[in-house]
Amino acid sequence: MPRPGRNTYSDQKPPYSYISLTAMAIQSSPEKMLPLSEIYKFIMDRFPYYRENTQRWQNSLRHNLSFNDCFIKIPRRPDQPGKGSFWALHPSCGDMFENGSFLRRRKRFKVLKSDHLAPSKPADAAQYLQQQAKLRLSALAASGTHLPQMPAAAYNLGGVAQPSGFKHPFAIENIIAREYKMPGGLAFSAMQPVPAAYPLPNQLTTMGSSLGTGWPHVYGSAGMIDSATPISMASGDYSAYGVPLKPLCHAAGQTLPAIPVPIKPTPAAVPALPALPAPIPTLLSNSPPSLSPKSSQTATSQSSPATPSETLTSPASALHSVAVH
């Protein structure tokens, strides 16, 4: 929404809600969790707009973290001293933006506390996250290669081949890259190749899009996202949280590198992380059809919140949640 009098977009407020921005930050991290300070940093690195009035927006952001169930707090491990906790995305919060608008969610994401399937304690989710992070990193150590930084295909669940590549709606390339209709009438196509100044991995997706953006207010941040790592993630190879399923299956029980996995230590055994059943039922309501920004609008009304989770068997899926009004 370029306003008259403004020369560039760079100082304008990005068209993303704080929830979107926070989700982007979290998604961009290998462990899928970030401390608050890193979330701040991520946002400020990429959106110059947020380099000012930090007090204001950071307060809002903290409010959002606490207020929205789609963010879960993960306590630091004793050997990870520092202030504050880590923040991660709730596994089941994926369809909030299905209408394609990242300014306004379709529904507020709400965890059903009464659901017996849902772990009552964040620690459960934390434990799972930790496992995921460990496994990712151990897979990394084993392969000697980069792991995909983005779990774009992480939510490519269900084991159904999705040639076009499914991306979690919170994956930043999914958030930013999709065609966005500017309030002012402009329509940016994410497919426009825009050099360098773009923070997103450009080959993440099987959409094959070299992601570019029409977002001048977005700055690239070298290194934050491994844009040099081609990610050709075969669908079905990744589970929730971006953990490659194959490595996951193999890596369980491996010795883990000393990594900053900010969660409480898990027991030696990994019973809490049963071998992920593949295929994992999708955490998201309507996957492929809804991937189309076009079709998403029509798909918003009938998402059945309970349906996906009910069939889930993975720990992540046990975090039963539902979008409510």
Partner DNA sequence: CCGTGTTTAGTTACCT
Partner DNA sequence: AGGTAACTAAACACGG
Q: Which is nearer to DNA, 96 or 224 (CB)?
A: 96
CB-CB contact of 323 with 304 (8 Å) = no
Q: Which is nearer to DNA, 107 or 264 (CB)?
A: 107
- Residue 180 binds DNA (CB under 7 A): no
Smallest gap from residue 306 Cβ to DNA (A) = 16
Cα 6 from chain centroid (whole Å)? 32
Candidates 6, 51, 79, 82: give the one binding DNA (CB under 7 A).
82
CB-CB contact of 296 with 98 (8 Å) = yes
Sign of CA dihedral 26, 27, 33, 34: negative
The label of the residue with tokens 């809002």 reads: 60
Candidates 6, 104, 146, 294: give the one binding DNA (CB under 7 A).
104
Smallest gap from residue 108 Cβ to DNA (A) = 3
CB-CB contact of 175 with 169 (8 Å) = yes
- Residue 107 binds DNA (CB under 7 A): yes
- Residue 57 binds DNA (CB under 7 A): yes
Candidates 56, 113, 146, 294: give the one binding DNA (CB under 7 A).
56
- Residue 298 binds DNA (CB under 7 A): no
- Residue 73 binds DNA (CB under 7 A): yes
Structure tokens at 157: 């669940």
**Could you give the 3-state DSSP secondary structure of residue 111?**
strand
- Residue 246 binds DNA (CB under 7 A): no
- Residue 49 binds DNA (CB under 7 A): no
CB-CB contact of 175 with 122 (8 Å) = no
**Could you give the 3-state DSSP secondary structure of residue 89?**
strand
**Residues with Cβ within 8 Å of residue 1, at least 6 apart in sequence:** 12, 15, 182, 183, 184
Q: Which is nearer to DNA, 102 or 238 (CB)?
A: 102
Smallest gap from residue 204 Cβ to DNA (A) = 24
Q: Taking the C-alpha atoms of 296, 300, 306 and 308 in order, what is their torsion angle to the nearest 10 degrees? A: -10
Binding site for DNA (CB under 7 A): 16-19, 35-37, 40, 56-60, 62-68, 73, 81-85, 87, 96, 99, 101, 103-105, 107-108, 183, 300-301, 324-325
